[in-house]
Amino acid sequence: KIAGCLHMTIQTADLIETLLYLGAEVQLPSCNIYSTQDHAAAAKAKRGVPVFALKGETEEEYILCIDQTIVFAEGQPLNMILDDC
């Protein structure tokens, strides 16, 4: 179970695909409300990946998205955090 806080771009979408292929469960918000590429986030969400990112979200929405990423379904803890800071 991997939670990330990365720029939600097509490059990150490719990273997510690689992690899924390797057997990981992945969920993430974007680390920057201005760098989010909505089409990349939508493609991952359509595939069933919990992506909490929307270009131009408010600060309140941003914090809510990060909070949703920390815990997996049914309260399961994560194994790894990916962060670009």
| pLDDT given for residue 30 in this prediction | 92
- Cβ atoms < 10 Å from Cβ of 49: 18
Condensed to tens digits (0 to 9), the pLDDT of residues 6-59 reads 999 999 999 999 999 999 999 999 999 899 999 999 999 999 999 999 999 999
| pLDDT given for residue 73 in this prediction | 84
Which tokens go with 31? 């680390």
pLDDT band at 61 (very low <50, low <70, confident <90, very high): very high
Q: Do the Cβ atoms of 39 and 14 come closer than 8 Å? A: no
Exposure letters 8-31 (e unless 16+ CB within 10 A, then b): bbeebbebbeebbeeeebbbbbbb
Reported as half-sphere exposure (CB side, CA atoms, 13 A), residue 8 has a value of 34
Q: What is the pTM of this model?
A: 0.86
pLDDT band at 85 (very low <50, low <70, confident <90, very high): low
* Residue of higher predicted confidence among 17 and 77: 17
| Residue 75 zone, left/alpha/beta (φ > 0; ψ -120 to 50; rest) | left
